Structure 1
Amino acid sequence: MDVAVLEIGGSHVTAAVVAPGTWDVTEVDRAKLASQEAAGAVVGQLADAARKLPLANGLAVALPGPFDFGTGVAWYRDQGKFDQLYGFDLGAALGNELGVERLMFMNDAEAFAVGEWTAGEVRGVERCVGVTIGTGIGTAFLADGRVVRDGGTVPPGGELYKTTYAGKPLEDAISARAILRRYTEATGQEAPGVKEIADQARAGDATAHEVLTECFTDLANALTPWIDRFGVTQTVLGGSIAGAFDLIHSSLPFQASATKDTEHSALIGAAAHYLRTCR
């Protein structure tokens, strides 16, 4: 059966239909999302997007944490997104609004990794890790396509961002904001975004290239011990930083590649997980 999927970010919501087997994605709609509005208004925006989908078989939803993906309760606070949803039962509200009983929530970083395992760069790899880097850093460690969150071979909850690096939260060293901060510290100038820093590096700007290299060397240092413990044989990078992979791959001492589909991997992963758990 085709799977209806919402992929929710801090500024957008994508509604799509995913066909199992071929994993073709039909993007029905991508709309801006005012995520800082009151809970009822956010639910209304999400429901408007979902109503464009065939919902007879239920709905899979990929979105960022902090969120209780089992119960559907949001725990966002001081995130710059969804702050009005703290303690709010999004699952119940959205299900009631849509009249949908089968509603599955999944962490977007995990959805990305499962999507890449299902139809992307790490397809069928026995032990792999997906790393998404944007506003923050998301990770998912997979064993035969299933997310591993517990045990001493993965970070707490399988989430690398919960660890520290050089005595500080990891995202102080590797994230979009960390890259922008390092660039400002090195040049005295502000860059509009990571893409612009990457463009400058490709154009021969040695400082821009050095900033990217330093950040990803830090990522390698933080991630490598977990890669060794879990027995990862291949890593896939996604998120806004995937487009700079050509500049930073030499900083990574492990087998890695960048996603070829930044738009659809999380949609495919959410659909695959839904089919596995909700049939």
Structure 2
Amino acid sequence: MNKAYAVGLDIGGTHITAAIIDIVDMKVIDFSLHKESFDSNLPVEEVMAIWEKAIKTSIENSKAKNIVGLAACMPGPFDYENGICWIKDQSKYEHFYGLNVRYLFQGTLNLTSDFPILFENDAVCFGKGEVFKDSDNLSKKVMAITLGTGLGACFIDKGISISSGDLVPTDGEIYNIPFKDGIAEDYVSARGLLAKYFALSGKKLNNCLELFNLAKAEDQLAIKAFQEMGEDLAEIVMPWLEKFSANSFIIGGKIANASEFFLPVFNQKIKESGSNITVSVSTDNEIAALLGATSLLYTA
């Protein structure tokens, strides 16, 4: 089969990562991975110029010729089918609200209207990418989550994202499930972790990296904050793992890098529930997201 390639993009609030993906073998092309950090609250034209630079650098480094599409994993709220950004009051992309990002790509990159430009939720991209990274998962039911600024989730059955029906929560999302005195994301996220540490210690930290470094230094209150999050995470996901009949549960996102501090208690809670589900932590969130995005253009 002739090779076909796509531009894969992982777009966050402070970065864009571009890579060229072989969409026949679902592999990242050597030397094509390129990352740019930026302030997403810059004017639209400046943000698009940074995105253009990342894409063109990636294409140039890959030496790929037959590029047949572009696929981006984007944070929500976002109209993924029509390419319209609805992010508002989240301290990111404040100038993009209501804009058609597909049209912005077409204009910036001089693409024709029939050139495929596809979008997907960042958590779904991560989950799909993890499935494509391990072909054994293509026959399984997988629940994947991303732990970071927020709490993302996806439910995948034999490689297909499931976001409706009785077996998954509304829209396949768990961040807004009622939990304790708020919603799940209030407790399992960066702000949830920092709030736990403040409640335990009376100290305010600037970010989770500070908390992680304290835990590494054996600060018992920092470790306890992570453990409490692990307990909360287990309580939130267990009903849906059971309802979806998931074979595998995969944890990703930046906070997954601190799994040594929350995974043991999470696993203990899962085991106590009687579940024998396979639990794993992603070793490369970014590659998974890029593969997941371009799986929308998978040709095999």
TM-score by length of 2: 0.86
- The answer to whether 1:91 aligns with 2:102 is yes
**For 2:282 and 2:135, how far apart are their aligned partners in 1?**
6
Indicate the larger mover: 86-95 or 193-202. Answer: 193-202
Q: CA deviation at 1:22?
A: 5.7
Aligned to 2:35: 30
Aligned to 2:133: 119
Q: CA deviation at 1:6?
A: 1.5
Q: How does 1:57-76 map to 2 (within 5 A)?
A: 57-76=68-87
Q: CA deviation at 1:56?
A: 3.6
What per-residue deviation string (whole Å, max 9, x for no partner) do you get for residues 11-49 of structure 1? Answer: 111111122426235444211122112233322322232
2:141–2:156: 8 Å Cα contact kept in structure 1?
yes
Aligned to 1:45: 50
1:12 to 4, 15, 33: 15
**For 2:287 and 2:245, how far apart are their aligned partners in 1?**
27
Q: CA deviation at 1:251?
A: 2.4
1:121–1:258: 8 Å Cα contact kept in structure 2?
no
2:211 to 197, 208, 218: 197
> What's the secondary structure of 2:48's corresponding residue?
helix
User: What is the CA RMSD across the aligned residues, in angstroms?
Assistant: 2.0
1:240 to 225, 230, 254: 254
TM-score by length of 1: 0.92
**For 1:155 and 1:222, how far apart are their aligned partners in 2?**
11
Q: CA deviation at 1:58?
A: 1.9
Amino acid at match of 1:41: E
**For 2:116 and 2:137, how far apart are their aligned partners in 1?**
27
What per-residue deviation string (whole Å, max 9, x for no partner) do you get for residues 194-238 of structure 1? Answer: 233234334432211111111121111111111111111211111
Amino acid at match of 1:6: L
Indicate the larger mover: 261-270 or 132-141. Answer: 261-270
1:195–1:244: 8 Å Cα contact kept in structure 2?
no
Q: CA deviation at 1:120?
A: 4.4
Q: How does 1:94-243 map to 2 (within 5 A)?
A: 94-100=105-111, 101-120=115-134, 123-243=137-257
What per-residue deviation string (whole Å, max 9, x for no partner) do you get for residues 151-198 of structure 1? Answer: 121111101112121141221111011101211221122334323323
Runs of 4+ in 1 over 6 A off after TM superposition: none
Q: CA deviation at 1:77?
A: 0.4
Q: Structure 1: 5+ residue runs without aligned partners?
A: none
Query: What is the percent sequence identity of the aligned residues?
Result: 29
**How many pairs align?**
277
**For 1:196 and 1:25, how far apart are their aligned partners in 2?**
35
**For 1:4 and 1:241, how far apart are their aligned partners in 2?**
27
- The answer to whether 1:255 aligns with 2:260 is no
Q: CA deviation at 1:132?
A: 0.3
Amino acid at match of 1:2: Y
**For 2:162 and 2:296, how far apart are their aligned partners in 1?**
14
Q: CA deviation at 1:79?
A: 1.0
Amino acid at match of 1:75: W
| Change in 2 beyond 3 A, CA 1:268/1:126 | same
**For 2:139 and 2:255, how far apart are their aligned partners in 1?**
23
**For 2:209 and 2:121, how far apart are their aligned partners in 1?**
25
| Change in 2 beyond 3 A, CA 1:265/1:273 | same
| Change in 2 beyond 3 A, CA 1:121/1:208 | farther
1:122–1:235: 8 Å Cα contact kept in structure 2?
no
> What's the secondary structure of 2:286's corresponding residue?
coil
Q: CA deviation at 1:97?
A: 2.0
Q: CA deviation at 1:70?
A: 0.3
| Change in 2 beyond 3 A, CA 1:121/1:209 | farther
**For 2:222 and 2:72, how far apart are their aligned partners in 1?**
37
Q: CA deviation at 1:143?
A: 0.3
> What's the secondary structure of 2:175's corresponding residue?
helix
